[in-house]
Amino acid sequence: MHAAQGHEIAIMRPLGTDIRQQNDSRIAFREPTMTTKPDSLQQWVNEVAELTNPAAIHWCDGSDAEYEDLIKQMLADGTLSELNNESYPNCYLHLSDPNDVARVEHLTFVCTSEEDDAGPNNNWMAPAEAHAKVDALFAGAMQGRTMYVIPYCMGPIDSPFSRCGVEISDSPYVVVNMKLMTRMGTAALARIEREGEGDFVKGLHSTGDLSPDRRMIMHFPEELSIKSIGSGYGGNALLGKKCHALRIASHQARQEGWLAEHMLIVGIENPDGETHYIACALPSACGKTNLAMLIPPDSHADWKVWTLGDDIAWLHLDDEGRLRAINPESGYFGVVPGTNSKTNKNAFDMITHDAIYTNVGRTSNNEPWWEDKQVGEPAYDWQGRDYDASNGPAAHPNSRFTVAACNNPSYSSLAEAPDGVPISAIVFGGRRKELAPLVYQSKDWKHGVLVGAGVASETTAANVGEVGVVRRDPMAMKPFCGYNFADYWAHWLSFDERSDKLPKIFHINWFRQDKQGKFLWPGFGENLRVLRWIIERCEGRVDAIETAIGYLPKSGDIDTTQLDISDATMQALISIDKAQWLEEMSAIGEYLDSYGDRLPAALKAEQQKVVDQLSQA
C-alpha cells in the first residue's frame, strides 16, 4: 500500500482535477463548442463513401459488444481463428498476406507543399499529385465491404494534451486493433464534437488488393490527414499509431511547442517509494516493450517498475518548466518472438488472455507458438502450413501481439492521468555490436540533442528490407518524423531556452558483443541496474567520469551484485575507444552536413566540440 502511494507522489495534481483551470490559452480554446458532429466529419464521410463505394457504413461506438460482434464475423469469414480457449481465453490469430508483414518505409510519403519541409529524411510527393495517385486507388476500393468510421482519441480522454482522429477503414481487423490500442468510440466522438471542425486528424485506409505495387502510406501534415492503401499491417493500417501519433503529431508539435516522440515511458520506484519517470527512444524491435515492463531482478526485489507506455510519448512543458509525458496509446502492438517468462514475464502473462496475435505459429493443441517461447512445440507456421524448419521460423520475426495496456501487470495507475508524468531522464539508444558503451550521460541539453541526433542502430525485421545493417536513426525517429530533421533538431534545441528544469539526457546500448558474437551485458531485468545509475545521476547522488563523449559510470557505480560478470567485461562495457569514436563523430558530422543550410549551427558546433576534445585527449 505504502509503495503504491509512493508511486502516486510524482504527480502534482490529483487524478481527474479539471485542468482546464490552468492558465493555458489552448485549453480555453478547447471548451465545448458544438453538440453535433462537425460538418466536416459528416461531409468527409460522405465524400469517402462516394469515392470508395462501400456496401455499408458503420460508425464505431467502441463498445465491448461491437468488438465481440466483429470478432465473431472475422471468425466466420476466416480472417481470425480462435486459439485454445482454456489456456488462451479470448485470444485470436490473424495470418496476414505473406507480402504484408511490416512497415514499408519506401512506400511511405510526407506530402508537404514545400519539398524541403519534408526533408531528406522523408520520401516526398507534392500534395496534389499524391492525392491524385492515391485517390485513383481508393476509387471503388470498398465495393462489397463495410466502411467503418472509427473515432479515436490519442491520449487520456480528458487530457488537454490529447488529440483526436477519425480513421475510415474497410478492415474489421483494424477496428478491433484500434479498440485495443486507442480510446476509441463514443467518448472520442463526443470530444471531436466538442472541439469542433478542423481539429481532428482524418485518416483514410483500405486494404485495397494488398498488392505491394498498389500500396502507399501518404501523410498530409498541413491538412491533418493520412491516406493509406494496400496494407493491413499495424504500422501501415492502424493510423492512430505511427501515422498520426508520430508523423502528423511531430509536425503539429513543432508548430505548437511540444514533442511527439518514439519513446516508451516507464516509472522506476526505489525502495523509499520515490518514483522517477524515464522516456526512452529506441528503434523498432530493440526491446522498448521489454524495457517498459521490466521485472526487477532478485538483487533489486525492493524496486518497482510501472509502465506508462511502450512506444510513443507526447511531451509538454508544464507551468513550472518540467517536461511531462502522456502516452497517446492505450495498448501495445509488440513483437512476439523472444517473449518468454525470463525475457519479459509481464508481457508473457498479459498475452495469455484477451489478445490478438498476428503471424505467429500454432501448437497441435492450438496455442500460439513463437521462437524462443520456451514452452510447447510448433505444429503450424505463420503461413498456416504444417511446421517444417526448412521453411524458416514458425512465427514471422515481426509477428505481433495486440493487447489493451491495462492487461499489463505493471500498468501504471497514472496511465490515464490527464497531465501525464514528470520526466527525469530522456534516454536514447540503439542496437550496436560495438562502439557505444552500456550507458553514458550527455554533458547538457544541447549535447544531448547531438547524442540523440547521432543515434544509429542495426536494422530489424520491423521494416521490410535488409536486417542487421547499421543506419542512422536520430532519436529513433528516422521512419516517423513528419518533417525535415534539421528543423526537428532546431525544435529540440529550442527547449533549452524555455526551461531550466529539463530532463537529463542519456544514451544506452544493451547490445555490445564480444569477438565471438556473445552479448557482453545480460540485458532484460538486469537493465534496471543501468536505469538505477541514470536515476542516481539525475538525483546528483553519484559521480561520473567526464570524457569527450559525455559522462561515463565510474567502475563499481553500476551495481553488479549477484551478477555473473567479470570486471574486465564491465570495464569493456563502460569504456570508449577514442579512434573508433573519432571515426563515428566524423560520420555523424557528415550525416549532419547532408541536411545542408537548414542544419542548426548550434548542433554542428556541438559535434565539433566533441571532435576537438577527442583529438586533444
With CB under 5 to 8 Å by kind, the binding choice for 316 among ligand SAT, Mn ion, none is: none
Instruction: Provide the residue count of the chain.
Output: 617
In contact, 52 and 147? CB cutoff 8 Å = yes
Q: What is the CA radius of gyration of the chain?
A: 24
Residue 328 CA to residue 262 CA, distance in Å, equals: 11
Complex with Mn ion: residue 107 or 335, whichever CB lies closer: 335
Q: Give the residue among 301, 58, 3 at the shortest CA–CA distance from 176.
A: 58
Complex with ligand SAT: residue 312 or 544, whichever CB lies closer: 312
CA 392 to chain centre: 28
Place of cell 465491404: 145
Name the segment binding ligand SAT (CB under 6 A); options: 181-189, 233-241, 565-573, 584-592: 233-241
Q: DSSP letter at 189?
A: H
With CB under 5 to 8 Å by kind, the binding choice for 103 among Mn ion, ligand SAT, none is: ligand SAT
Name the segment binding Mn ion (CB under 5 A); options: 208-216, 306-314, 365-373, 568-576: 306-314
Answer yes or no whether residue 311 interacts with Mn ion by CB under 5 A: yes
Q: How many CB atoms lie within 10 A of CB 285?
A: 22
User: Taking CB under 6 A as the criterion, which residues in 453-482 touch ligand SAT?
Assistant: 462
With CB under 5 to 8 Å by kind, the binding choice for 241 among Mn ion, ligand SAT, none is: ligand SAT
Complex with Mn ion: residue 261 or 311, whichever CB lies closer: 311
Residue 108 CA to residue 92 CA, distance in Å, equals: 29
- Classified as helix, coil or strand, 329 is coil
Q: Using CB under 6 A, which of 234, 437, 452, 503 touches ligand SAT?
A: 234
Answer yes or no whether residue 232 interacts with ligand SAT by CB under 6 A: no
- The kind and range of the H/E element at 487 are helix 485-498
Complex with ligand SAT: residue 275 or 402, whichever CB lies closer: 402
25-53: b (≥16 Cβ within 10 Å) or e: eeeeebeeeeeebbeebeebbeebbebbb
Catalytic, out of 60, 91, 164, 286: 286
Q: Using CB under 6 A, which of 172, 235, 361, 393 touches ligand SAT?
A: 235
Is 286 part of the annotated catalytic residue set? yes
Q: Using CB under 6 A, which of 48, 83, 93, 103 touches ligand SAT?
A: 103
> Per-residue x/- mask for Mn ion, residues 244 to 283, rule CB under 5 A?
----------------------------------------
Q: Using CB under 5 A, which of 96, 112, 159, 284 touches Mn ion?
A: 284
Beta carbon of residue 129, minimum distance to ligand SAT (angstroms, whole number): 25
- Closest residue to ligand SAT, judged by C-beta, is 235
Residue 314 CA to residue 258 CA, distance in Å, equals: 8
Complex with Mn ion: residue 206 or 359, whichever CB lies closer: 359
User: Taking CB under 6 A as the criterion, which residues in 330-349 touch ligand SAT?
Assistant: 333
Beta carbon of residue 38, minimum distance to Mn ion (angstroms, whole number): 31
Q: Using CB under 6 A, which of 241, 254, 300, 447 touches ligand SAT?
A: 241
β-pairing, 275-281 vs 263-269, is antiparallel
Beta carbon of residue 21, minimum distance to ligand SAT (angstroms, whole number): 36
In contact, 215 and 230? CB cutoff 8 Å = yes
Look at phi and psi of residue 144 and say left if phi exceeds 0, alpha if psi is from -120 to 50, else beta: left
Amino acid type, 343: T
Amino acid type, 112: T
Q: Using CB under 6 A, which of 228, 231, 275, 284 touches ligand SAT?
A: 284
Query: Which residues face 263 on adjacent strands?
Result: 281
With CB under 5 to 8 Å by kind, the binding choice for 333 among ligand SAT, Mn ion, none is: ligand SAT
In contact, 182 and 244? CB cutoff 8 Å = no
Active site residues: 286
By CB under 5 A, name the binding residues for Mn ion.
284, 311
Q: Which residues bind ligand SAT (CB under 6 A)?
A: 103, 234-235, 241-242, 284, 333, 462
